[in-house]
Amino acid sequence: MHNLILVRHGQSFWNKEKRFTGWADIGLTEGGKEEAELAGQLIKKLNIEFHAYFTSKLKRAINSLEIILKILNKQKVEVFKAFELNERHYGSLTSLNKDSTVKKYGKKQVQIWRRSFDIPPPPMDDQHPYKKKINSNIRTESLKDTFERVMPYYKKKIEPLILSKKNILIVFHGNSCRSLLKKIFNISDEKIIQLEIPTGNPLLIRFEENLKVQDYKYLDIKRSKKIIFNV
């Protein structure tokens, strides 16, 4: 039996303020830290020996993993940090309040930017207040774009470990997690946009020999979300 545990980071300040975060490097609220602590406690109860730990380059995910590792008494382990596991880049929407954006552009348009599979928000221009802080040639991303950077990294760095019966812990973001679940559960482009990822709630996926999913569950049942399949 080989295990993969996926955790969306705990609540960030911009999650709480309902702002588009994307690649902006925003820290955890006290509530977010508590969510990470609970995630660590739930994972600890499984008594799984992990062989590798992965996270993004953004501190809300890194700090969530650090909190979990402290509870697991694994502070000195090697952690692999990759921008490929970053949240989706929200382009010019970065830092904007979601409710205010709906008032400005309309609910339908914002829903297209947020939930369509292959339509990105308007790109971040050089005058955007977060352009220099993010400093990337990437200016915006659709969920499809996010999927297309997450999957090569997963195929190269993580999937071979699972095939060799290693136990893996990944702490990352709503859309990078959504991208990975799309592949693991073979969710269609149309269905994936309906999938919600709760913060700080570990998702345990157990695989058979051929990477077929044997079973899966959220460890915090009260805060679980349904995995949406094509059928």
Domain boundaries, the chain: 2-223
Q: Which of 9-13, 122-126, 219-223 has the lowest mean pLDDT?
A: 219-223
Two tokens, residue 153:
């990294």
Query: What pLDDT score does 231 carry?
Result: 40
- pLDDT at residue 121 above 70? yes
pLDDT in tens, 67-120: 999 999 998 999 999 999 999 999 999 999 999 999 999 999 999 999 899 999
Residue-wise pLDDT for 187-216, tens only, equals: 999 899 889 899 999 999 999 988 899 999
pLDDT value at residue 83: 96
Whether residue 9 lies in the annotated active site: yes
% of the chain beyond a pLDDT of 90? 88
Task: Considering the candidates 35, 87, 141, 173, report the single residue annotated as catalytic.
Answer: 87
- Superfamily covering domain 2-223: Phosphoglycerate mutase-like (3.40.50.1240)
Average pLDDT estimate for 168-185? 96
- Stated pTM of the model: 0.95
Identify the active-site residue in 2, 9, 89, 173: 9
